[in-house]
Amino acid sequence: MNIHFNKSHFFHGLDALRPKGITLPKAALPPVSKLGPVFALLAACIFFAFQSDRFFTGQNFSLILQQVMVVGIIAIGQTLIILTAGIDLSCGMAMALGSVVMTKFAVDHGIDPYLAIVCGIGVCTLVGYVNGALVTAVKLPAFIVTLGTMNIAFAITQIYSHAQTVTGVPDAMAFFGNTFQLGQATFTYGTVLMLALYGLTWLFLRDTAPGRHLYAVGNNPEAARLTGIATNKVLVTVYVVAGFFYGIAALLSVARMGVGDPQAGQTDNLDSITAVVLGGTSLFGGRGSIMGTLVGVLIVGVFRNGLTLMGVSSVYQVLVTGVLVILAVVTDQLTHKKG
């Protein structure tokens, strides 16, 4: 059967999804003044290239991508939430809960691995729904809601797993940890999935009405409501979709580590927020880009990899990351005041 792709019909379909009757900010290539994260990434690469002969190699860059793929996918969900002026502290624990659920279902309960994966992703999505429902229905601050669900998810994970790592996971859960050769570099299928999800999210935010609604809600929720946007529906959907991404991250964590680890994800919430802020997304909502987050994820990965090659201890790496976050937040604060 031949399938003919009609480009004009495809983009006409996207046009139909765009909002009617309201004026929303248009996506465009960022001006030079907003390319700071890219310049910071390039500067970091040049600096570490002079510090270590092993840094500027294809093998090392592929290693960086493997190291950041879990946090990278969590950061997609975190970006969507921060664009609506929210924040999610529960993402790391939700990811750990999802990884334990899918591995225990498959290993201890003998459930089909693919069904177990769906269950693990479903649990993460449920955590996202609870966050969104509490934020919209009870009108609680996202910080408080997700702080609570973070602790609940952590406790459930420890109780259900008895704080023990789940080993002997089936091959189906290890697929995205498999590698393929490209030149002298080795890549995992997980990194390919991460880059593909960034591309799809970029298209969603740029070319669809729900994507533009998300920016509008984060920029001014009352104005968005008056233009006819169902702001609560948008917020709940954003938290649910973010939870789905945490489930995908859980699968990649299992694939990379080969186990279901109840101790995983304890710093992923802060790492994902760091990446989003470094990528130029405003903590005040309504301003930022998903590709900026990808650059932020790479900045974090490059710094940690480069410092490791220089023999810097993990404690100092955390210190450097903290300094980067403060600098990024100060820059965001100053930019917001000028705006």
The pLDDT-based confidence of 17 (bands split at 50, 70, 90) is very low
What is the average pLDDT across 6-25?
46
DSSP H/E element including 233:
helix 231-257
How big is the chain, counted in residues?
Answer: 339
Model confidence at 329: pLDDT above 90: no
DSSP tag of 177 = G
Residue 313 CA to residue 228 CA, distance in Å, equals 53
Q: What is the pLDDT of residues 164-179, one digit of tens each?
A: 999 999 999 999 999 9
pLDDT of residue 336: 63
pTM of the model as a whole: 0.86
Answer whether residue 254 shows pLDDT above 90. yes
Percent of the chain scoring above 90 in pLDDT: 60
For residue 9, pLDDT over 50 is answered with: no
Q: Which amino acid is at 26?
A: K
User: What six digits make up the tokens of 125?
Assistant: 């999505």
pLDDT tens digit sequence for 144-163: 999 999 999 999 999 999 99
Read off the pLDDT band of 10 (50, 70, 90). very low
Rounded CA gap, 155 and 168, in Å?
23
For the chain, give the percent of residues with pLDDT over 70.
88
Tokens found for residue 258: 């080969």
Collapsed DSSP state (helix, strand, coil) of residue 237: helix
Model pLDDT for residues 260-309, shown as the tens digit of each residue = 999 998 888 888 998 998 888 988 888 899 999 999 999 989 998 999 99
